[in-house]
Structure 1
């Protein structure tokens, strides 16, 4: 039986600090996983980054990075949410901020986080403990994780009121909103003229604002037509 080496939250925090220029990473059951991947970082790289010899040799590992469409959607979201939520006493964090899920020994880096300015709570590693809403933009390598694992994990966070999953490959948004402690509703939207309401702040968001400037690749059928 091969035992997988695991790391502490402190190891994870130091690794992220030192690897800041190489991408974003999440913490899953003692493993350190790139945000844009399902595969954990190799132990040998982690051990080197955490060692006193760090920076003595060049790191040549290349991690998958977000696409232009992904970044455009996140930028659109941030801009629209900032205008909407500023008057409501909410703060927006994007991408580099970790949400801690201590009950599950997880640390996730959503694309967008909404949290109350006055009630924000963090652990000793500065990870957020009480988000109100989380937005994830799907990538090819992580869409299964975002739709299943993360959905289950985020729903364990007592403070969370909404989890929104946004496709960058087509106009499609899945909106999950809490109705009660263990009860959620799902809404699927796939038209640019659609809107959805974040019920916990009674605020409407338009899909055309989220997808502004995003150009989708045409399918073979669309090209022939």
Structure 2
């Protein structure tokens, strides 16, 4: 993630207006607009694989999967983030015409060297403020490894690690697949 040099304060409404016409994506951190770096080929392949699987899995469930271009708004913290994937089952998100969702149940981030510490730390801590948020998934792109964190109570998140040859489960949306399906078309499975 590359931070903008500007220290001008922008309101959430100004941010949304700028973002609608910007050729690049930005996250919004308490009045500051932060440019996002481009994704690697592995990152794009993994998110594409998972997106295809989730769209098919969620058909006729009342839940919807949003890919990399949908923002999650955290109004209490004055933040907008672009997760790699988010699933919401909340009707308020489904019927809203806004350029963001407020009530994700599942959030997925594909880790990169430049974002891993933030995705694991501050970003995860911020996402925990969302009442409906129940599952957080971190997918490594340089090795076949997925970490899933599942909310058990407000302050307790249980981790689960998935490695090559295993089946991945996102319990809160009833999703299961072979980990190989998420890493399809990458050379990582043959290593």
TM-score higher than 0.5: yes
Q: 1:202 aligns with which of 174, 179, 182?
A: 174
CA separation of 1:163 and 1:77: change in aligned 2, threshold 3 A: same
Counterpart in 1 of 2:136? 163
Residue 62 (structure 1) aligns with? none
State the structure with more CA Rg: 1
1:72/1:124 Cα in 2 relative to 1: closer, same or farther (>3 Å)?
A: closer
Deviation string 1:93-135 (CA, Å, 9 cap, x unpaired) is: 1111110011111100011111126342687853211011011
Aligned counterpart in structure 2 of residue 172 of structure 1, from 145, 157, 171: 145
TM-score in terms of structure 2 length: 0.87
- Contact 2:166 2:179 survives alignment (8 Å): yes
Q: Of 12, 19, 22, which residue of structure 2 is paired with 1:9?
A: 12
Q: State the partner residue of 2:79.
A: 106
Q: Which protein has the bigger strand share?
A: 2
- Structure 2 residue aligned with 1:215: 187
User: CA contact under 8 A between 1:193 and 1:207: conserved in structure 2?
Assistant: yes
Partner of 1:97: 70
Contact 1:133/1:160 (<8 A) preserved: yes
Gap regions ≥5 residues in structure 2: 1-5
Runs (5+) with no aligned partner, structure 1 = 37-64
Contact 1:198 1:204 in 2 (8 A): yes
Q: TM-score, normalised on structure 1? A: 0.75
Evaluate the alpha carbon distance shift between residue 215 and residue 174 of structure 1 in structure 2; reply closer, same or farther with a 3 A threshold.
Answer: same
Separation in 1 of the partners of 2:74 and 2:95? 11
Conservation of the 8 A alpha-carbon contact between 1:10 and 1:125: no
Q: How does 1:1-225 map to 2 (within 5 A)?
A: 4-19=7-22, 21=23, 23-36=24-37, 65-116=38-89, 118-120=91-93, 125-189=98-162, 191-216=163-188
